[in-house]
C-alpha cells in the first residue's frame, strides 16, 4: 500500500492551477450516453475515480478515444446492457459513487438499466431514494434482484411530469435532467440542485439540442426532444481543489497564486474563507494569497461564535467542511463546524487532536475548533486517509506540522486529486510517495 512521507513546516511558494472538476466530469461523461454522436470533453481530471468511470462506460459499449492527457472523445453508438455484464459492471460501479449517474441516460436511450449499489467514500448513509422516486415519476418501474445484486429499472417510454425532490440532491437532479431530456412532454423539477457542475451539465445538454429552462435556479423546466447531437465541452476548474489550495496557503503561510479559477463561480466559497480571516487578492480569474501572521475568525453580529454548516448551493458544499475545519486550527478565534449531511465524516478529527489541535467533537455532526493563532505548530504523526476530503485535510495539516508525518491509504486522495504530490513539490513541499 502506498503512503505519503511528509516533512512539514517547509516554506511554500509559487503558482498552481486546479484540475478539472471531478463532480462535473462524472455528470458530463455520463451524459455522453444520451447520444450516438461523438462528444468531446476537455479538462477531465486524471484521477482514479474518473478512470473507473471510463472503464465502466467501456463495459457498456462506449468507444473512448484519448486525445491528450485530459481530453477524450466519446461515442455511445452501440450501447448494450444485460445480465452478462453485471460482473464487469460491478467491478467498477462498486468503487465510485458517480456510477449511479448512468441510470438516467440508459433509461432514456435503451428503456432499461441495471444499477448496482454505488461505491465511494464511507462517510455515512448515502440515499438513492431521490433518484428512484424521481425516475418513477417519469414512468419507470424498478425492483431489486438479490441474485444479481442489482436494481433492475425499466421504462417503455419516459414521460414528462412534475417532480418535487425530497432533497436537493446533486446526482439525483443530474440523473433526472438527463432522463427528462429525451422524455415525451414537459418535466418540471422543483427543489433541484443548482451547483455550478449541474449548470454545466445543463449547458452541455443545451448545446446537444436539449431544451432546458431555469438553469442556475432550483426550478427547472425540461421540454423533451427526440434525440440529442454531439458537442464539445470544457469542464470548469474544481472548486473543491481551489478551496484545498486556499487552506494550504493559510495553514503553511505560503505565498501562493491559484490560477484560472473562474472566480465568479466561487463566491459562496470564497466568502466563507474570508470569514475565517483569510485575505484573498482576486485579479481576473487568479487568486493571490500572501502570508499572514494571523487570520482572525469573524464573529456573528451579536458576537456569538461563527458556524460553518453545509447547505445546498449557493450554500457551503459539504465536501469543503473537512478542509475548512483544518484551516480554522491555526486561526485566531473559534468556530463551530456543523456537518449536516453525513454522520461519519468528522471522525478523522481524532488525528488532528493527536497532532495538537484544540477542538471538541460535540457529536457525530459538530466540531468546535478553538484556533491556535499560530502560537505553536501541529506535530507530525502517522495517520490513515479515511476518505478523499479528510485525506486532503490531513495532508494540509501534515504540510503545516513540525517533523515527519506518514499518511497511509493515499489511494483515497488519488481518487480526487491529480498527482497531488508532484504539484506540491513544485511549490517547495517535502513530500514523497513510498510504495
121 is a catalytic site residue? yes
The CA distances from residue 154 to 74, 115, 157, 236, 427, in Å, are 25, 11, 9, 33, 51
User: Exposed/middle/buried for 1, CB within 10 Å: 0-12, 13-18, 19+?
Assistant: exposed
Cell numbers of 333, please? Answer: 478565534
Active-site residue identified among 121, 238, 387, 414: 121
Indicate left, alpha or beta for 326 from its phi (over 0: left) and psi (-120 to 50: alpha): alpha
Residue 255 three-state SS: strand
- Is residue 188 a contact partner of residue 212, using CB atoms and an 8 Å limit? no
Provide CB contacts within 8 A for 375, sequence distance 6+.
none
- Is residue 332 a contact partner of residue 250, using CB atoms and an 8 Å limit? no
Task: Give the whole-angstrom CA distance, residue 386 versus residue 188.
Answer: 38
Task: Annotate 341-360 with b (16+ C-beta within 10 A) or e (fewer).
Answer: bbebbbebbebbeebbbebe
Provide CB contacts within 8 A for 140, sequence distance 6+.
107, 153, 154, 155, 158
Do strands 219-223 and 211-213 pair parallel, antiparallel, or not at all (unpaired)? antiparallel
Q: Residues, the chain, total?
A: 435
- Is residue 47 a contact partner of residue 19, using CB atoms and an 8 Å limit? yes
- Is residue 128 a contact partner of residue 153, using CB atoms and an 8 Å limit? no
Residue 316 three-state SS: strand
Indicate left, alpha or beta for 101 from its phi (over 0: left) and psi (-120 to 50: alpha): alpha
Cell numbers of 402, please? Answer: 513540525
Task: State the sign of the Cα–Cα–Cα–Cα dihedral 397, 400, 405, 406.
Answer: positive
Q: Is the omega angle on the peptide bond into residue 81 within 30 degrees of 0, that is, cis?
A: no
The residues carrying an active-site annotation are 121
Amino acid at each position: 500500500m502506498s503512503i505519503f512521507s511528509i516533512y512539514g513546516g517547509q516554506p511554500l511558494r509559487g503558482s498552481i492551477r486546479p484540475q478539472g472538476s471531478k463532480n462535473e466530469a462524472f455528470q458530463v461523461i455520463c451524459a455522453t450516453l444520451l447520444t450516438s454522436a461523438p462528444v468531446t470533453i476537455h479538462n477531465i481530471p486524471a484521477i482514479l475515480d474518473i478512470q473507473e468511470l471510463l472503464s465502466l462506460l467501456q463495459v457498456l459499449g462506449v468507444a473512448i478515444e484519448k486525445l491528450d492527457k485530459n481530453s477524450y472523445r466519446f461515442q455511445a453508438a452501440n450501447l448494450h446492457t444485460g445480465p452478462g455484464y453485471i460482473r464487469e459492471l460491478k467491478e467498477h460501479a462498486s468503487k465510485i459513487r458517480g456510477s449511479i449517474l448512468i441510470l438516467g441516460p440508459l433509461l432514456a436511450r435503451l428503456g432499461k438499466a441495471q444499477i448496482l449499489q454505488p461505491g465511494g467514500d464511507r462517510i455515512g448513509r448515502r440515499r438513492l431514494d431521490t433518484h428512484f422516486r424521481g425516475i418513477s415519476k417519469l414512468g419507470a418501474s424498478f425492483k431489486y434482484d438479490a441474485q444479481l445484486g442489482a436494481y433492475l429499472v425499466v421504462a417503455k417510454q419516459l414521460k414528462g411530469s412534475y417532480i418535487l425532490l425530497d432533497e436537493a440532491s446533486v446526482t439525483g437532479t443530474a440523473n433526472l435532467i438527463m432522463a427528462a431530456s429525451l422524455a415525451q412532454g414537459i418535466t418540471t423539477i422543483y427543489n433541484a440542485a443548482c451547483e455550478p457542475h449541474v449548470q454545466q451539465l445543463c449547458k452541455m445538454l443545451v448545446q446537444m439540442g436539449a431544451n432546458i429552462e431555469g438553469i442556475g435556479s432550483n426550478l427547472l423546466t425540461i421540454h423533451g426532444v427526440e434525440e440529442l447531437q454531439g458537442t464539445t465541452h470544457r469542464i470548469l476548474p474544481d472548486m473543491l481543489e481551489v478551496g484545498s489550495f486556499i487552506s494550504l496557503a493559510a495553514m503553511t503561510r505560503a505565498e501562493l497564486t491559484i490560477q484560472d479559477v473562474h472566480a465568479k463561480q466561487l463566491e459562496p466559497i470564497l466568502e466563507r474563507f474570508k470569514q475565517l480571516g483569510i485575505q484573498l487578492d482576486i485579479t481576473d480569474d487568479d487568486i493571490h494569497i500572501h502570508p499572514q501572521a494571523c487570520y482572525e475568525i469573524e464573529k456573528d453580529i451579536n458576537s456569538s461564535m461563527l458556524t460553518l454548516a453545509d447547505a445546498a448551493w449557493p450554500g457551503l458544499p459539504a465536501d469543503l467542511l473537512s478542509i475548512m475545519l483544518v484551516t480554522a486550527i491555526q486561526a485566531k478565534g473559534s468556530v463551530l463546524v456543523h456537518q449536516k449531511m453525513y454522520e461519519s465524516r468528522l471522525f478523522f478529527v481524532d488525528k488532528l487532536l493527536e497532532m495538537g489541535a484544540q477542538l471538541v467533537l460535540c457529536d457525530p455532526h459538530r466540531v468546535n475548533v478553538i484556533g491556535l493563532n499560530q502560537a505553536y505548530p501541529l506535530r507530525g504523526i502517522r495517520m490513515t486517509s479515511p476518505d478523499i476530503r479528510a485525506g486532503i485535510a490531513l495532508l494540509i495539516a501534515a504540510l503545516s506540522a513540525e517533523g515527519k508525518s506518514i499518511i497511509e491509504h493515499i489511494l483515497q486522495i488519488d481518487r480526487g486529486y491529480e498527482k497531488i504530490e508532484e504539484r506540491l513539490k513544485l511549490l517547495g513541499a517535502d513530500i514523497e510517495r513510498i510504495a
